[in-house]
Chain A
Amino acid sequence: MLGLNSRDTKLLLLVIALVIFAPFLLNPFPTASNLGESFNAGYPALMQRFVIFGLLVIGFNLLFGLTGYLSFGHAAFLGVGSFAAVWMFKLLGYNVLPALVMSTIIAGIFSVMIGYVALRRSGIYFSILTLAFAQMMYSIAYSDLIGKFVGTPITNGETGLQVYASDPQVLQGANAPVLPHLFGLEMNSQTTLAMGGWEFTFQVGYYFAAFFLVLGFYLSIRIFRSPMGLMLRAIKSNQTRMSYTGLNSKPYMLAAFVISGMYAGLAGGLMAAMDPLTGAERMFWTASGEIVVMAILGGAGTLIGPVLGAGMIKYLENIVSKIQKDFLELWFAFLPDWLEAAVVNIIYPFVGKGWHLTLGVMFMLVIIYLPGGMVEGGQRITARFKRKKKTDAPDGAKTPAE
């Protein structure tokens, strides 16, 4: 289907199904229950983050997963995308379409410039160069250096950039919503479906962002399977052989860098479309680091890994970080008192404010035991089940090794 082989089609359909039914899947517990309050992740603000960061990491993976070049400054493109989108809101109006187009283009232009310089080096030097560029851009945005130069705020420094009533908004119609919208369809309009103790919320913004996740995922499959994807993997494998085979790796690298920068720009634009303000902190180096961690945790170089990694980290950040001590006490109330206290005391440092500790431990375990990330974990589990099935079957011993 759509030029994909059957396995890739299944994967794409799986992702489509996941994003469509996310409001159900992420709300396994009744809304008002204790578990529901702590573990339900199916609310629009968080689901938006799942898909936007998924898109961002899919793009990052096109660079890092295929070529092995580790960009440590990808958040810069995300930030640029957000600024470009908010500027479009300010100048043209709240329609998200021009904003997204502009954020992708501007991020593309920035990545051409940065990529051109950074790709002169490889390995750790490339990473450091991208980090340096990103931090420079962060400082410029944070101090609004350009704004001071031209006389009007461009990034609006510490305050951050937002839309004011006095902005031109030349294309903003008289009756158009004063919040981001797609031809009148407001991003934050939503309907809620109540079923028993459950409440499921369907928000326009979430599905709009999810559409781009699916589109981005589809394009990334196409790139992975294309001759260009093969060349990018060749870069990762052996650049010496590549050049003696008559291939110039530079244009391929730059193309991968720019494509992945544009993904980040689009993700930044979507963030602004969900919430029309932005600040320099989106470009800070920790944000870049988070992207790297997401890709590795999920499985760099795999198709679905980036989505899983982004989802996992956003879940930890938003759900595990909210677990309080009294929740723990409540859950473990069935234990004898002394045991309850012990269990709560052991778990507590890893939740709530300590969620980074959980992340750190997970990351460490994945790097050591599952270098292929969560995807490798999944593969090992399915392989184990398959083997079990085979040995259970009467003629199991005769099945040939694959």
Chain B
Amino acid sequence: MGILEVKGINKRFGGLQALGDVNLSIAENTVHAIIGPNGAGKSTLLNVLVGKLIPDSGSVLFEGTSVLGRKPHEINQMGISRVFQTPEIFADLSVMENVMIPCFAKRDGAYAFNAIGGVTKHTDIREQAEAILDDVNMLDKREMIASSMSRGDKRRLEMAMCLVQEPRLLLLDEPTAGMARADTNNTIDLLKEIKEKRDITMAIIEHDMHVVFSMAERITVLAQGTPLVEDTPDNIKGHPKVREAYLGEAQV
């Protein structure tokens, strides 16, 4: 059984069937890509996984426990972190603070009233934060206010915020969109490196086929809210149905 088991998920927005009977199993310690044309329901699926949306029917099991009906912070505490399609960061805090917050959340749980000791006194937190900033090559930007950075930097920051929590399952919604080619390659290298270093499962949504094919071990193709095929990258590349539904237009 996979680390994440999605069974029979349906979600309608008014008359629109955003997700129709989605079944998905993500094996532990793999990189699983979910691809599909715009509006296929990829982000909606992630929203269901992290507790942002409640599906109309179906079940989601993470390491054997149901996540449906849990609050987003509870799901995160179970070990699921998510990078959003449009970066969700603490825009008016510094880069360093942005990374320290998830460290505190990981160490102290959903809430802890550390109201007296200074932030800087928590050396373990600071070291963790600096280490991850070093990994994403942002250590020199640690004092910058997050909102003043480029789109690509914001994405890398958000990724660092998720990675520093050492999640069991990392959900990435178009992590390289808006990045320059060099940054995209750096991101691929970073994620691969993390993957080698420790146990982590990644579900990655991407339009950039370069990213998909250099990372994914399994690929699910989603079209109009329903999984079309699921297979290895090599088989997906040659699959006629996929070419027709997705790859053909994406590679123009």
- A contacts, CB < 8 Å to B: 3, 5, 222-223, 225-231, 233-234, 236-238, 240-248, 251-252, 255
Contacts and interface: CB of A to CB of B under 8 A. Distances in A.
A226 B91 contact: no
Given A241-B90, A243-B71, A244-B76, 7 more contacts: A227-B108, A228-B113, A229-B115, A230-B97, A241-B88, A244-B50, A246-B106
A255 B111 CA distance: 11
A223 B73 contact: no
B93 A233 contact: yes
B76 A245 contact: yes
Contacts of A248: 71, 73, 110-111
Contacts of B114: 226-228
26 contacts: A3-B118, A222-B118, A223-B115, A226-B119, A227-B108, A227-B119, A228-B114, A228-B115, A229-B119, A230-B101, A230-B119, A233-B97, A238-B91, A242-B101, A243-B72, A244-B50, A244-B84, A245-B73, A245-B76, A246-B109, A247-B73, A247-B104, A247-B105, A247-B111, A248-B71, A251-B111
Given A237-B93, A248-B73, A231 B101 contact: yes
Q: Is the interface of A mostly helix, strand, loop or mixed?
A: helix
A245 B102 CA distance: 6
A252 B71 CA distance: 16
Contacts of A228: 112-115
B117 A3 contact: yes
Most buried by B among A223, A225, A243, A252: A243
Contacts of A242: 73, 90, 101
A247 B73 CA distance: 5
B96 to A, nearest CB: 10
A245 B161 contact: yes
B82 interface: yes
B115 A246 contact: no
A246 B90 contact: no
B122 A227 contact: yes
A246 B88 contact: no
A5 B121 CA distance: 11
Given A227-B112, A230-B97, A244 B82 contact: yes
Given A234-B90, A244-B82, A246-B165, A225 B118 contact: yes
B6 interface: no
A291 B173 CA distance: 44
B117 A238 contact: no
Given A227-B119, A244-B50, A234 B72 contact: no
Contacts of A244: 50, 72-73, 76, 81-82, 84, 88
B186 interface: no
A237 B91 contact: yes
Contact of A245 (B91, B101, B112): B101
Contacts of A247: 73, 101, 104-105, 110-111
Nearest to B104: A227
B152 to A, nearest CB: 18
Most buried by B among A3, A237, A245, A251: A245
A2 to B, nearest CB: 11
B84 to A, nearest CB: 8
A255 B90 contact: no
A255 to B, nearest CB: 6
A251 B108 CA distance: 14
Shortest beta-carbon contacts, A-B, top 3? A246-B76, A227-B114, A237-B90
A241 B89 contact: yes
Contacts of A236: 92
Most buried by A among B73, B76, B106, B108: B73
A61 to B, nearest CB: 15
A401 to B, nearest CB: 13
A242 to B, nearest CB: 8
Contacts of B81: 244-245
Given A228-B113, A228-B115, A238-B91, A246 B102 contact: yes
B182 interface: no
Interface string B68-90: 00011100110001101000111
Given A241-B88, A247-B110, A226 B117 contact: yes
A238 B89 contact: yes
Contacts of B161: 241, 245
Interface string B139-152: 00000000000000
B90 A238 contact: yes
Given A226-B119, A227-B117, A227-B122, A243 B73 contact: yes
Contact of B88 (A222, A238, A255): A238
A316 B5 CA distance: 66
B116 interface: yes
Nearest to A232: B115
Contacts of A231: 101, 104, 111
